[in-house]
Structure 1
Amino acid sequence: MVKPALYPPLATLAMHTPDQLPATLPRPDYLLSLANLAARLHGRHGVPPLQHALLDGLEEIETVILLLIDGMGEAQLAELAPDGWLAHQPRTRLHSVFPSTTTAAITTLLTGAAPSEHGLLSWHVWAPQAGCIATPLPLREHWRAEGEALPDQTLAAALYTQPSALAGGDRRHYVLQPEYIADSQYSRHHGGAAEALPWHGYDALFAQLAALARQPGRKFIYAYIPDLDSLMHHKGTRHPRAAQLLQRIDAHCAALAVTLPASARLLVTADHGQLDIPPEKLLFINDYPELAAMLARPLWGEPRVAFCTPRPECRDAFPASIEAALGHVLWVLKAEDVLAAQWFGPAPQHPQLAARAGDYVLLLKDDWGLLQMVDDSERPRLIGNHGGLSAAEMQIPLIVYQGTAG
């Protein structure tokens, strides 16, 4: 059964501008976002540093721990662990960045730069200087029109242009990530001068956090847990296993808290939230060959927000064509209007930002998704998704706990 639309239809238009979208739809807010938190943590001021009473005195704290639980939006915290330790700690609500996705958000946290500056906008990124649509986190080419794939080092140099913020100053820096991603080229570049401490299992992760917090000296510790996001992608945001997993992480956070000395402050947040897309509402533009044929290259971006560039001869006709076929599913926005609205963040801008945003931004409505397959592989069956502007995707908690142990 198809659910009724969350957003009433707007006047029939081939394209919309950002200010024509429903007022109830959250907009990226670069006063209360992960980018502002990153500016406060790293002393970079591309956006204003986050100001909140929970962060008072942060710069004087000896040990700052930033624990990022991938996918734990405000909605997931309320749904999956409403009675847990995390839900009952002092917290405020932030926005993710746009798109509300791991690639954009974690790069912001590790560089202190908004997506407009670092340029890694989404899971798939059009990188014209590399001649391909690339996938930055695992560092691979997703699609190439012609020619041979670039060597990894060359592709990395084209994608990873923003330096890490985890270097310099009077703090030592540590990065704790799962073993299977700790030594990736993405992790090495964005970890900067931080000491990498791979972890395997939550017991090891939280024991390491407790031990680091007791060590003397000023330090910043970034710890990353990807498991909730991964599970919800495959099982959905309301699956019992998702609740069990978040409650397990919650219990570890509670146990860590009682060990933290008064010289340590724990910040727990997320990169984004998620919403469920019913299987019948995850669409593929491959099933609309007349639309796919109008594109200069495949769609890139996320299931909840796609970027595209039509062929030159189709550029004028494309908005009306996709509106006619999929206007009930998405809004068509000019990329230049999205850039002007600073949805990716303010200046300074990455030199390839306009190219990476394409000509049009396709923003999915309600609980719809849109992808394009570039080969004959099996179509993904993603249930939990993110990248768009719904409250479930955009709103994330910032939980702050001040240590008290002697």
Structure 2
Amino acid sequence: MSAGERGRLGDVLLGAVGSLGLDLPPEPAARMSSARARLGLPAATKACVVLVDGLGGHNLDQRSGSAPFLTGADRVGSVRTTFPSTTATNVTYLGTGWEGGRTRMLGYSVRAAPRAVVNLVSWNGPAVPEQWQAETTVFEHLEQAGRTAVSVGPWRFADSGLTRAAWRGGEYAAAESLRERVDTAVAELRDPDVDVVYLYWGELDSHGHRHGWQSPGWEELLAVTDAELDRLARLLPPGTLLLVTADHGMVDVAAHERIDLAGREDLTRDVDLVAGEPRAVHLYCAPGSANAVAGRYRAALGEQAQVLTRAEVIDSGMIGPTTPAAAPVVGDVVVAARGNQAVMDSRSQSAASLALVGMHGGVTDAETLVPLVVVQG
């Protein structure tokens, strides 16, 4: 682990529940106890877990002056996300404790049928969330034990595919602005029947994608986020454990650092389907061609990316232990950015997605190390 690194993102919710000392079945209880020990969490009576989408540790360090609460002394460590460093994968990693090799949540989009792609954020495609991601969530473990967990987020996510994949088993409390979400979270925590509250905030990520995390507007949003989370910490009921983390960081990718597959016969030959995202690409190839495709991508990208076959991805452990159901979801070739470049595809991507500035998905520390802020109420 790097300096200040305390564990993995999948430990955070598990460890938070483990700190409550609830009477749960042996298997999830053991996982929760181990996660709590890895993170060094104190005992608590309730837990509140906040996920700030897109707030990487590098991003926070570089804008620490705008986040005095989040960067306060003795509060901040870091945890490592799983690959790819993207929302669908890591929100589910947080919500279940399992990496994509078990959950099949292996990117922004993946192949769901020979010629069909499913988007694991919007769920446009041939997949039912509860069937696609069949692992028991942490909230389902709580529900089965007669305990109550609540997700706080925008109304449009109340029954979304990602909520059903990662957070089923809990109740949902809709609130729009961050201030409203903080107020709602506090009200839920004051309910004696509620054990755990999860609060999601996605505006930093949205702004970073459109304008870049180095834009003035991103820093202004960070300051607002920091102030509201400070207020949340001050309003916590006594004995409540607050954990603030993120699903990934973000890098800004300049126009000259983008490779467009359109017109690149060397990079499209034998590739039947392209999925994933620009810094974590799944290439589904014609039978028997994966090694040749991988070789051409290695020649084109050099040190800017790890280019791996499916077997290499699975054997490396970068997506965790992989089940037979998840293995075919992995691209025949996977391109994982480790430099500044991104692989775009103007043949299929919308103009809006091609215009995005901030990106993530790759294997750099800027994308995979995220903060863990621990506050005892």
Kept in 2, the 8 Å contact 1:68–1:225? The answer is yes
The reply on whether 1:49 has 2:25 as its aligned counterpart is: no
TM-score (norm 2): 0.87
Cα distance change on mapping 1:116 and 1:401 into 2, 3 Å: same
The reply on whether 1:110 has 2:84 as its aligned counterpart is: no
Alignment-derived partner of residue 111 in structure 2: 126
What are the residue-to-residue correspondences of 1:1-400 with 2, within 5 Å?
Answer: 32-41=7-16, 44=28, 49-52=35-38, 54-57=40-43, 61-82=44-65, 83-88=67-72, 90-128=75-113, 132-141=116-125, 150=126, 155-156=128-129, 158-166=131-139, 167-169=143-145, 171-217=147-193, 219-297=195-273, 299-312=274-287, 314-327=289-302, 329-346=304-321, 349-375=322-348, 377-378=350-351, 380-400=354-374
**How far apart are the structure 2 equivalents of 1:262 and 1:230?**
33
Kept in 1, the 8 Å contact 2:13–2:49? The answer is no
Moved more, 155-164 or 44-53: 44-53
How far off its partner does 1:182 sit?
A: 2.2
Alignment-derived partner of residue 11 in structure 1: none
**How far apart are the structure 1 equivalents of 2:296 and 2:316?**
25
How far off its partner does 1:46 sit?
A: 6.8
Superposed CA offset, 1:132-158 (max 9, x none): 1110121103xxxxxxxx4xxx54455
Say which SS state the counterpart of residue 228 (structure 2) adopts: helix
How far off its partner does 1:333 sit?
A: 1.7
**How far apart are the structure 1 equivalents of 2:192 and 2:13?**
24
Cα distance change on mapping 1:184 and 1:362 into 2, 3 Å: same
Superposed CA offset, 1:235-292 (max 9, x none): 1111111111011011011112222222211110001111111122122212313421
Kept in 1, the 8 Å contact 2:10–2:95? The answer is no
Cα distance change on mapping 1:290 and 1:127 into 2, 3 Å: same
How far off its partner does 1:327 sit?
A: 2.8
* Percent identity for Structure 1 against Structure 2: 25
Gaps of 5+ in 2: 19-27
Alignment-derived partner of residue 22 in structure 2: none
Kept in 1, the 8 Å contact 2:344–2:354? The answer is no
Say which SS state the counterpart of residue 49 (structure 1) adopts: helix
State the aligned residue count: 358
Kept in 1, the 8 Å contact 2:53–2:202? The answer is yes
Kept in 1, the 8 Å contact 2:92–2:165? The answer is no
Query: Which amino acid in 2 is paired with 1:68?
Result: L
Kept in 2, the 8 Å contact 1:62–1:218? The answer is no
Kept in 2, the 8 Å contact 1:95–1:396? The answer is yes
Cα distance change on mapping 1:254 and 1:320 into 2, 3 Å: closer
For CA contacts below 8 A with separation 6 or more, give which structure has more relative contact order: 1
**How far apart are the structure 2 equivalents of 1:399 and 1:344?**
25
How far off its partner does 1:293 sit?
A: 2.8
Say which SS state the counterpart of residue 161 (structure 1) adopts: coil
Moved more, 85-94 or 368-377: 368-377
Select the structure that is richer in helix. Answer: 2
Say which SS state the counterpart of residue 312 (structure 1) adopts: coil
Structure 1 vs Structure 2 CA RMSD: 2.5
Gaps of 5+ in 1: 1-23, 142-149
Moved more, 217-226 or 306-315: 306-315
**How far apart are the structure 2 equivalents of 1:325 and 1:273?**
26
Moved more, 315-324 or 386-395: 315-324
How far off its partner does 1:350 sit?
A: 3.4
How far off its partner does 1:317 sit?
A: 2.7
TM-score (norm 1): 0.81
